[in-house]
Amino acid sequence: MADTRFVNQKMVGTSVVPDEAIPLVEGEGRFLNDIRLPGMYHAAFLRSQHAHARILSIDAGAARQMPGVIQVMTGKEMLGKVDPFESMPNRFSGGQSTQHWLAVEKVRFVGEAVCVVVAEDRAIAEDAIDLIEVEYDPLPAVTDPRLGEKDDAPLVHETCPNNYLIKRDYERGNVDEAFEKAHLVVKRAFSIGRKQALCLEGRGCVAAYRESAFTLTMWMSHQLPYVVRHYLAKHLRLGEHEVRVIAPHTGGGFGQKASIYPEEFVCAHLALGLRRPVKWVEDRLENMVASTHARDQQIELAAAVDDQGRILALDSNVWVDVGAYSTYLWSAGMEPLQTAGLMPGPYQIEALRYVTRGVATNKTPVGPYRAVGRPSASASLELLIDDAARRLDIDPVEMRLRNLIPGEKMPYRNANNLVHDNVNYVPCLKLTAAKAEYDKLRAEQAQASDNGKLRGIGVACFAELTGLGTSTAVGPGTLLQPGRDAVTLRLETTGVLTIAAALPSQGQRIMTAMTQVAADELGIKLSDITGLTNDTAMAPYGFGTFASRTAVFGSGAVIKAARELRRRILALAAHLMEVPETDLTIVDSVVQTVDRAKTMTLREMTDQSYFSAKHIPEDLNPGFEVTSFYDPKFGSFAAGAHTVVVDVDPQTGHVEIVRYVAAEDVGTIINPAVVEGQIIGGIAQGIGEALMEELVYDADGQPKTVTLADYTIPSALEIPTIELHHANTPSAALGGFKGCGEGSIIGAVGAVACAVADALNRNGGDITAFPATPERVLTGLGVLPTDS
């Protein structure tokens, strides 16, 4: 008989370690997979192998009897104990979805969690998973959004007629009149495949709880620690003060780790019941089928154009395959609304109409991924502009120059009701064309190729709205509407400055940027500044890292707090040094007179402030901890223009990128190396989207690309040298900052797509479906049949 004992009135299995042995913050700052807590259990999930089926029965008897297994839990056993994920109603048409943390009556995609096993180690838990028998009644699967919206299609959710999780009709300006008066009407179809963020580190968590000792504590690979805390408390029926979330070093996020998932919440529920730490880290197969997907869009776009090449109106139809559930927190509206709504990009569009749909299918749910919706919106429009330019015999760069929003027209309100200001659209395009020697490239292209390959040149311009504040909604129906963020600056007794903010990094060096801004504002040495960005128990409330916002919010709040802290430092130093405050400055962590006749280190000053306070007037010693909130309200537009040269082999369909020139406006640059890394990283991901990456499902909803042997991504061999240039103009935000984390992927997808289409056009071909795999390229050239 297994050795059992009671711990805090709860019976647990073998190898029990008393609660007192569980540390509170061990592992903080490490990568999640490195966290080891004494007495820690491990969780594994049984996942559905059916895309759509009723659950008839679950037999977990054998698994429960397996040595080392602590607990097996099904969805029915969780009913009534926790609150499931309910999508919010939106003001447009579309139904709502309910996602149980473990499937209850039905499974709706391959990879959906059905049972969880808790065991002494991961291997035992996974072995026990194999002993669970589930009887399913398979149902017809929906795998195509355009078929799924038909009246006779099977329903993924009975609450969603026509499988619409969201549908919106929008019109602004006189679209019909523009098309009637147009010199040219150009139409184009565009589609882009399903994508995976493919973070180097998958999702995972460690949940721990000790009654009367510390709150429910979650170490979690996530971008939004305070948001996770809020929803953990809500769904576990706790107060927020009873939950602590720590985001250790995170190996990539890209938006995939900004959503709320069932697995981590299941682990929290288990930890509360078992009074023991519970750990789960997904493997790559789980990541491919259970972590959110992205894109998977079909677009039909039409433009009304006058005889000078100016776009008079846009009219689009958008279908997005949003998967089985409205992704919790961001909703199923993210991709559909942003794809259609942000279609005008950096161009002057006076009239806009669209119908956009998020159609539920029996696939993994779609969630936010770098530059949500904009890469496909931009690429489809850029390809359409090239089509119009050919038909009007206007050079593609000239066509864009005639339509971009010029600086003299700013602030400019586009047909999507967004205001563009302080952004260099035209200078970016002129800069990339000059640096690429665009006219020379076209002249070379006109000459016969000596290698038999088709040369293509693509140019794409983009607008990226960054630093969204409280006056700009992320999306209707979205649970999270971000507000202001806060930063705390605290000057320690040692003279070291601590920066605390709930803005965890996933590789962007967020604290590096805030440290540099604080150093510039305060005159403190970089080596005298430390930071904390990952712990809800130690940082002020903030919404986290997403949507290219941290440089704007975090550094803006640092500036506000630093100005107040500097005022306090100089006021006290003036008293202690017996000199006028106006004669003082701070250089390298030393307060000194302008002539350097008198000096006092910050350590000396804080020592007197804290330990000799009786000699200091109270109004001059208010303390050296300042918390400031910052809300830029409307956000800031970043911009860019990319030029790409490709060679296409008409025999194999292989696409080689010969040259890549990017010009970007990212506002005031804090750290050039960080900015360069963000932009080049986005370009690399965009190249993968345009040429290689695609999650493929069969007609029954079975995923066919579940390993990195099938889901191909670019390596260093496929990424060319990126020639990066800047045409920056400061934003209206504090410091003049803009975000730079997402824009470049928009430009990359569009520019590469245009280059490939341009190359195929030289042989009378075209391409409308991306990524531009060799098969699709050969189909576009007529070498392969269209149904290949």
Q: What does the pLDDT average to over 589-601?
A: 94
* Rounded Cα gap, residues 372 and 369, in angstroms: 5
- Specify if 171 maps to a domain: no
* Rounded Cα gap, residues 610 and 111, in angstroms: 57
**Which of 213-217, 436-440, 574-578 tops mean pLDDT?**
436-440
Asked if residue 305 and residue 277 are part of one domain, the reply reads no
Question: What per-residue confidence (pLDDT) applies to 722?
Answer: 97
Asked if residue 644 and residue 591 are part of one domain, the reply reads no
Predicted confidence (pLDDT) per residue in 255-298, tens digit = 899 999 999 999 999 999 999 999 999 999 999 999 999 999 99
Reduced to 3 states (helix: H, G, I; strand: E, B; else coil), residue 260 is coil
Question: Among candidates 582, 564, 558, which has minimal Cα distance to 623?
Answer: 564
Q: CB–CB of 459/396 below 8 Å?
A: yes
Low-confidence winner among 7-11, 236-240, 375-379, 491-495 (lowest mean pLDDT): 7-11
Higher per-residue pLDDT: 372 or 27: 372
Of the pLDDT bands very low, low, confident and very high (cuts 50, 70, 90), residue 210 is: confident
- Specify if 6 maps to a domain: no
Cis upstream peptide for 411 (omega within 30°):
yes
Number of independent structural domains in the chain: 3
Question: What per-residue confidence (pLDDT) applies to 31?
Answer: 66
CATH of the domain at 129: 3.90.1170.50
Question: What per-residue confidence (pLDDT) applies to 474?
Answer: 57
Reduced to 3 states (helix: H, G, I; strand: E, B; else coil), residue 273 is helix
Q: Is the pLDDT of residue 213 over 80?
A: no
Predicted confidence (pLDDT) per residue in 476-497, tens digit = 556 666 677 899 999 999 999 9
Low-confidence winner among 267-281, 337-351, 378-392, 628-642 (lowest mean pLDDT): 628-642
Asked if residue 701 and residue 616 are part of one domain, the reply reads no
Which residues face 628 on adjacent strands? 487
Q: What does the pLDDT average to over 580-601?
A: 94
**pTM for this predicted structure:** 0.91
* Rounded Cα gap, residues 138 and 140, in angstroms: 7
Predicted confidence (pLDDT) per residue in 541-577, tens digit = 888 877 788 888 899 999 999 999 999 999 999 999 9
Q: Is the pLDDT of residue 28 over 60?
A: no
Where are the extended beta strands (E) located within 523-598?
529-532, 584-587, 590-593
Q: CB–CB of 456/646 below 8 Å?
A: yes
Q: Is the pLDDT of residue 26 over 50?
A: no
Domain boundary among 630, 658, 674: 630
* Rounded Cα gap, residues 138 and 55, in angstroms: 9
Percent of the chain predicted with pLDDT > 70: 93
Tokens at 307, concatenated: 């005889």
Low-confidence winner among 209-213, 304-308, 367-371, 649-653 (lowest mean pLDDT): 209-213
Asked if residue 619 and residue 646 are part of one domain, the reply reads no
Asked if residue 277 and residue 319 are part of one domain, the reply reads no
- Specify if 557 maps to a domain: yes
Asked if residue 452 and residue 382 are part of one domain, the reply reads yes
Q: CB–CB of 696/772 below 8 Å?
A: no
For tokens 């990195």, name the residue. 708
Question: What per-residue confidence (pLDDT) applies to 482?
Answer: 67
* Rounded Cα gap, residues 784 and 99, in angstroms: 42
Asked if residue 57 and residue 24 are part of one domain, the reply reads no
Of the pLDDT bands very low, low, confident and very high (cuts 50, 70, 90), residue 7 is: very low
* Rounded Cα gap, residues 746 and 679, in angstroms: 11
CATH of the domain at 620: 3.30.365.10
Question: What per-residue confidence (pLDDT) applies to 449?
Answer: 81
Question: What per-residue confidence (pLDDT) applies to 472?
Answer: 64
Of the pLDDT bands very low, low, confident and very high (cuts 50, 70, 90), residue 610 is: confident
- Specify if 479 maps to a domain: no
Asked if residue 319 and residue 424 are part of one domain, the reply reads yes
Task: Please return the burial class of 548, using the count of CB atoms within 10 Å of its CB with bins 0-12, 13-18 and 19+.
Answer: buried
* Rounded Cα gap, residues 536 and 501, in angstroms: 9
- Specify if 130 maps to a domain: yes
* Rounded Cα gap, residues 576 and 284, in angstroms: 60
Of the pLDDT bands very low, low, confident and very high (cuts 50, 70, 90), residue 87 is: confident
Tokens at 681, concatenated: 């990283």
Q: Is the pLDDT of residue 25 over 70?
A: no
Asked if residue 558 and residue 530 are part of one domain, the reply reads yes
Domain boundary among 582, 604, 630: 630
Query: Can you give the residue range of the structural domain that contains 259?
Result: 36-139+198-290
Q: What average pLDDT does the chain have?
A: 91
For tokens 């009671």, name the residue. 6
Question: What per-residue confidence (pLDDT) applies to 506?
Answer: 83
Predicted confidence (pLDDT) per residue in 719-734, tens digit = 999 999 999 999 999 9
Q: How many Cβ atoms sit within 10 Å of the Cβ of residue 5?
A: 10
Strands 113-119 and 69-74: antiparallel
- Specify if 181 maps to a domain: no
Of the pLDDT bands very low, low, confident and very high (cuts 50, 70, 90), residue 6 is: very low
Low-confidence winner among 101-105, 225-229, 476-480, 707-711 (lowest mean pLDDT): 476-480
Of the pLDDT bands very low, low, confident and very high (cuts 50, 70, 90), residue 616 is: confident
Asked if residue 378 and residue 514 are part of one domain, the reply reads no
Reduced to 3 states (helix: H, G, I; strand: E, B; else coil), residue 323 is strand
* Rounded Cα gap, residues 283 and 494, in angstroms: 44
Q: Please, what's the b/e burial string for 493-519 (b: 16 or more CB within 10 A of its CB; e: otherwise)?
A: eebbbebbbbbbbbbbbbbbbbbbbbb
Asked if residue 523 and residue 553 are part of one domain, the reply reads yes
Question: What per-residue confidence (pLDDT) applies to 757?
Answer: 98
- Specify if 311 maps to a domain: yes
Question: Among candidates 344, 430, 339, which has minimal Cα distance to 381?
Answer: 344
Of the pLDDT bands very low, low, confident and very high (cuts 50, 70, 90), residue 615 is: confident
- Specify if 5 maps to a domain: no
Domain boundary among 269, 290, 311: 290
* Rounded Cα gap, residues 455 and 647, in angstroms: 5
Predicted confidence (pLDDT) per residue in 303-330, tens digit = 999 999 999 999 999 999 999 999 998 8
Asked if residue 560 and residue 574 are part of one domain, the reply reads yes
